[in-house]
Structure 1
Amino acid sequence: MQQQFDLIIIGGGSAAFAAAIRANDLQLSTLMVNSGLPLGGTCVNVGCVPSKFLIRAAESVHHTMHSSFDGVQAKGANVNFKQIIQQKQALVAEMQTRKYLDLLPDLQHLTVLEGRAAFVDMNTITVNGETYKGIKIAIATGSTTDIPPIEGLSDVAFLTSDTLFDLEEQPDSLIIVGGGYIGLEIAQLYNRLGTKVTVVVRDRILKVETEDITDELTKHLRAEGVEIKTGATIQRVWQEGSAVKAELVSNGQSQTIKASHLVIATGRKANTENLDLEKTGVKTGIKGHVLVNEYLETNVPNIYAIGDVNNLPQFVYTAAYEGTTAIGNAFQGSNHKVDYNVLPWVVFTDPQVAGVGLDEREATERGIPHESTIMPLTEVPRSIAALDTRGFIKLIRNPETDQLLGARIVAPEGSELTMELSLAIKYGITVKELASALHPYLTLAEGVKLAAMSFTKDVKKMSCCAG
């Protein structure tokens, strides 16, 4: 095998493939080294694809069991859990083949090698006992669950999001440690499929968001039967027969809880432990994430870090964007800066939690004048007609300029509103212009118009479609 390459990519996920495709377009000789998860990485194999499939499956079950309409009787669904998982596995295999493996024959300048890569120096790696050199190197090794130091955890067969979705026998009950987006999506979907779920979180769920967001989502999850223990810490865990037990401390009180399975969802850490980065001088930060600048460069000039392994927002769409951007910067002198100031994001619970731009706390930290308005879905015609008024739309603006600073949404399918708001922030569309724009009646998007209007008007005193 060739030993010298223009580019070496360590990793085989979304960021790595985006980088490889861009490098192939530039006719760069490229070596991709993959280990751990199959090609395609977290998203297609154990993350986005399987989780969203299961969320939709659970949602379909939920709808057969609950109806708000007087003339519709919800009679429930017959759930074959094993068949759901097998269909998920088939979908993952099909997507991995179509979106990753089938691309390889067209990438004529790419060589793929399975094995663990470790650095020798800033231009050299070893794989399976062989040495390879690259002019530029892109680290794209992704991330994995950050396992907390809980007493007894190493003696319990705990699960993570990487392993839970492959269980073909439905868990009778789950203890989920962690209240971030991964833990909450898992909690709701398994609850809807009939598993008893307890979420344990040190503070409150989605603690990076303001309390109005987390309180609203907590209310709806609890209403569905998800048990959420906030302000709680697990001191130790142990196996007792077929059950996992945990000693829980909350408000100075101790109690024992148990479940058939324990799931750890306490955040992510970068996959950098086995790269021998110390031989390159590349700097890492919290949880091993590689520190990069706005050009995706590390502190070592020829080494870049892309995707979940770096210290930037961790989404599959940012990973792919970074893969393409890094190669342009490295080999074409593009000097393209990544800018996530208007990055939309989603938590795929139901109702969804979505956002873009700044919230009130972030605006305060930056010293930006701001005010906010909240439009409850009880005032949005689409939601009223659907008999589903869970949640709200919150807009944050600068009152001195009328510029939109950010938005936070808790709503069924609320993520569909984020692109309008993202573009409004990016291109300086004022809140007044949002309020005057024609939005179709009986769409959720009309809620954005109503929220914008509510800065200056009482929408409760307006007729339908009034502007």
Structure 2
Amino acid sequence: MKRYDVVILGGGAGGLTVASGAASLGAKVALIEKSDRLGGDCLHFGCVPSKALIEAANEINYSSVLSQYGFDVSGRATFSHVKERVKAAISTIQHHDSEDRFEKMGVDVFFGVGEFVDEHHYLLKDGQSLYGKRFVIATGSRPIVPPIKGIDNVQFETNETIFDLEDVPSKMIFIGGGPIGLELAQAFSRMGTETVVVDRSDDILSKEDGEIQQLATEFLQKDIDFILGVDVKEVKQEGATKTVIYEEQGVTKEISGDALFLGVGRAPNTDGFGLEEIGVKLDKRGHIQVNDKLQSSHSHIYGIGDTNGQFPFTHAAGMEGKLVVQNAVLGLGRKVSYKTFPWTTYTTPEIFHVGMTEEEAKDTGKEYHVYKSGLDDVDRFVAEHKTTGMVKIISDKKGYIIGAHAIGEGAGDWMQTVIFAMEQKKKVGDLSQMVYPYPNHAAAIQRAADQYWREKLFNGIVPKLTKKYIQWFR
């Protein structure tokens, strides 16, 4: 039997973060991955391939702009070329997540499945038994296949299969209007596919600030057809044609296409290896119930990433992985906080979110202030003819930032300054005091933050006092 200080289940972003951190601190570490390669869903089926696809789609879409300069551009995207771009990106990043790299760090890497024998022993199917002082469950999640009538008889795609398509579909129907579905629907639309999103909700991007949501919806409607507020009753297939039958206000309707994508959510990979059998508590959806130190009902077993149901993002798993290294290896007892946790929806334009929305701030019943700027007021965006979007910063009554939101080209990059300001407990006015090289995309933040000082200095009694001061002393 092999004995370890930390045994990690799952070789995705969270598991790799814990493995490298723990090994670097001198812990004896085992990393178990059920597939035959490290990197996890994000690298092979999620973030990396989808962003490579989005970039390729945008480049194809931008080619239409060439006609403005006298070029004659025609033809249809060849998906095999797009897939080559996707695979090249995965291959480059895979090198950093290779088995050899982690073994050189001192991590023992095992490929295969197994199960808990008890709360400290894990048995691999090949017969190897591992003892762990502490365990970290970082097994990720998988696409949910909803119990729709006929689904077992229809060929459908998920984020794990869509990159295996042979060609760009003529028409693709997306069941589910979450971020993954929206990103991919817009990308395929820009490659020439007619895309339709069908969702039971009355609107999309429901977690976003209301103004951002409205603007994003208006923009996405240029690329995607939406059928919202409906219940999907059945799916069927005849030949290559897939048909979705849905009910809208009591009326049965249907829509057909040559491809079907399921994007109704994800389920945690916490079943099949004995967690419940050893007493680890799960919620109704299968997520590991953890405390603010990311410990499960067994204090030496931690749950991070998609397994704990907090935020289903790669950067959440990475952040939680760093905290678990401090707690599991060093025993520091650090507590996780999501107050300044950001996310970006990588549609075009991008949608950035951190902290409270205005609706959430209003629900608190406390005083708050809003500072906004449209991108059409920012010279860099005007010069690039990419003025669709806005920045919105929300503060408490003292000026401390409690939320920030943006929609615009590259918003996920140039809004990072606001995250740092929130983490350092800076005020909105501090963002105005920075020097932004001209012309700069992040000047959108400055434009919004300038309003803080306009309210402080140019309204109320201050202008009256300065006027008297100038008259008397200047």
| Superposed pair shares fold, TM > 0.5 | yes
> Where does residue 433 of structure 1 map in the other structure?
430
Residues 356 and 71 of structure 1: CA distance in aligned 2, closer, same or farther (over 3 Å): same
Cα distance in 2, alignment partners of residues 56 and 13 from structure 1 = 23
> Where does residue 89 of structure 1 map in the other structure?
87
Residues 418 and 293 of structure 1: CA distance in aligned 2, closer, same or farther (over 3 Å): farther
> Where does residue 415 of structure 1 map in the other structure?
412
Pairing of 1:364-375 with structure 2 (within 5 A): 364-375=362-373
Cα distance in 2, alignment partners of residues 193 and 431 from structure 1 = 40
Q: Secondary structure at the match of 1:137?
A: strand
**Mean Cα displacement is larger for which, 403-412 or 3-12?**
3-12
> Which one-letter code corresponds to 1:449 in the other structure?
Q
Cα distance in 2, alignment partners of residues 365 and 38 from structure 1 = 46
Offset from partner CA, 1:162-216 (integer Å, 9 cap, x none): 1101223222221111111101110011111111111111111111223322221
**Mean Cα displacement is larger for which, 93-102 or 50-59?**
93-102
For structure 1, the residue ranges without an aligned partner over 5 or more in a row are: 459-467
Q: Are the equivalent residues in 2 in contact too, given 1:37–1:45 (CA < 8 A)? A: no
**Mean Cα displacement is larger for which, 304-313 or 180-189?**
304-313
State the Cα distance separating 1:447 from its structure 2 match: 1.0
Cα distance in 1, alignment partners of residues 309 and 440 from structure 2 = 37
> Where does residue 49 of structure 2 map in the other structure?
50
State the Cα distance separating 1:76 from its structure 2 match: 5.0
- Of 260, 263, 266, 1:262 maps to 260
State the Cα distance separating 1:72 from its structure 2 match: 6.0
State the Cα distance separating 1:457 from its structure 2 match: 4.7
Percentage of pairs with the same residue? 30
> Where does residue 60 of structure 1 map in the other structure?
59
Q: Are the equivalent residues in 2 in contact too, given 1:61–1:76 (CA < 8 A)? A: no
Cα distance in 1, alignment partners of residues 213 and 416 from structure 2 = 22
Residues 154 and 453 of structure 1: CA distance in aligned 2, closer, same or farther (over 3 Å): same
Cα distance in 1, alignment partners of residues 111 and 144 from structure 2 = 24
Residues 36 and 171 of structure 1: CA distance in aligned 2, closer, same or farther (over 3 Å): farther
State the Cα distance separating 1:418 from its structure 2 match: 2.3
Q: Are the equivalent residues in 1 in contact too, given 2:372–2:390 (CA < 8 A)? A: yes
Alignment length (residue pairs): 453
Q: Are the equivalent residues in 2 in contact too, given 1:357–1:425 (CA < 8 A)? A: no
Q: Are the equivalent residues in 1 in contact too, given 2:415–2:442 (CA < 8 A)? A: no
Pairing of 1:6-21 with structure 2 (within 5 A): 6-21=5-20
Q: Are the equivalent residues in 2 in contact too, given 1:360–1:396 (CA < 8 A)? A: yes
Cα distance in 2, alignment partners of residues 86 and 316 from structure 1 = 24
Q: Are the equivalent residues in 1 in contact too, given 2:36–2:111 (CA < 8 A)? A: no
> Where does residue 181 of structure 1 map in the other structure?
179
Pairing of 1:441-456 with structure 2 (within 5 A): 441-455=438-452
> Which one-letter code corresponds to 2:34 in the other structure?
S
Q: Whose Rg is larger?
A: 2
> Where does residue 461 of structure 2 map in the other structure?
none
Residues 58 and 77 of structure 1: CA distance in aligned 2, closer, same or farther (over 3 Å): farther
Cα distance in 1, alignment partners of residues 284 and 36 from structure 2 = 23
**Mean Cα displacement is larger for which, 201-210 or 92-101?**
92-101
Instruction: Please tell me whether residue 271 in structure 1 is matched to residue 273 in structure 2.
Output: no
Pairing of 1:284-433 with structure 2 (within 5 A): 284-398=282-396, 400-433=397-430
> Where does residue 244 of structure 2 map in the other structure?
246
Q: Secondary structure at the match of 2:344?
A: strand
Cα distance in 2, alignment partners of residues 253 and 393 from structure 1 = 40
Cα distance in 1, alignment partners of residues 325 and 355 from structure 2 = 27
State the Cα distance separating 1:10 from its structure 2 match: 1.0
> Which one-letter code corresponds to 2:412 in the other structure?
S
Q: Secondary structure at the match of 2:260?
A: strand
Cα distance in 2, alignment partners of residues 416 and 448 from structure 1 = 12
Cα distance in 2, alignment partners of residues 157 and 26 from structure 1 = 48
Q: Secondary structure at the match of 1:333?
A: coil
Residues 94 and 279 of structure 1: CA distance in aligned 2, closer, same or farther (over 3 Å): same
**Mean Cα displacement is larger for which, 282-291 or 362-371?**
362-371
Q: Are the equivalent residues in 1 in contact too, given 2:236–2:242 (CA < 8 A)? A: yes
Residues 415 and 74 of structure 1: CA distance in aligned 2, closer, same or farther (over 3 Å): farther
Cα distance in 2, alignment partners of residues 376 and 366 from structure 1 = 26
Cα distance in 2, alignment partners of residues 97 and 437 from structure 1 = 38
Q: Are the equivalent residues in 2 in contact too, given 1:356–1:418 (CA < 8 A)? A: no
> Which one-letter code corresponds to 1:422 in the other structure?
I
State the Cα distance separating 1:366 from its structure 2 match: 4.1
Cα distance in 2, alignment partners of residues 77 and 94 from structure 1 = 30
Cα distance in 2, alignment partners of residues 251 and 378 from structure 1 = 39
Q: Are the equivalent residues in 1 in contact too, given 2:103–2:109 (CA < 8 A)? A: no
- Runs of 4+ in structure 1 off by over 6 angstroms are none
Instruction: Please tell me whether residue 117 in structure 1 is matched to residue 108 in structure 2.
Output: no
Residues 432 and 414 of structure 1: CA distance in aligned 2, closer, same or farther (over 3 Å): same
Q: Are the equivalent residues in 2 in contact too, given 1:342–1:425 (CA < 8 A)? A: yes
Cα distance in 2, alignment partners of residues 105 and 94 from structure 1 = 19
State the Cα distance separating 1:372 from its structure 2 match: 2.0
> Which one-letter code corresponds to 1:60 in the other structure?
E
- Of 132, 135, 156, 1:134 maps to 132
State the Cα distance separating 1:292 from its structure 2 match: 1.5
> Where does residue 460 of structure 2 map in the other structure?
none
> Which one-letter code corresponds to 1:432 in the other structure?
G
Q: Secondary structure at the match of 1:340?
A: coil
Q: Are the equivalent residues in 2 in contact too, given 1:181–1:347 (CA < 8 A)? A: yes
> Where does residue 27 of structure 2 map in the other structure?
28
Offset from partner CA, 1:215-250 (integer Å, 9 cap, x none): 2112112223x1111212211101112111011222
Offset from partner CA, 1:274-313 (integer Å, 9 cap, x none): 1222222112225211122221111211101122211222
Offset from partner CA, 1:412-454 (integer Å, 9 cap, x none): 1111232111111122222223234332332221111111223
> Where does residue 75 of structure 1 map in the other structure?
73
For structure 2, the residue ranges without an aligned partner over 5 or more in a row are: 456-474
> Which one-letter code corresponds to 2:267 in the other structure?
K
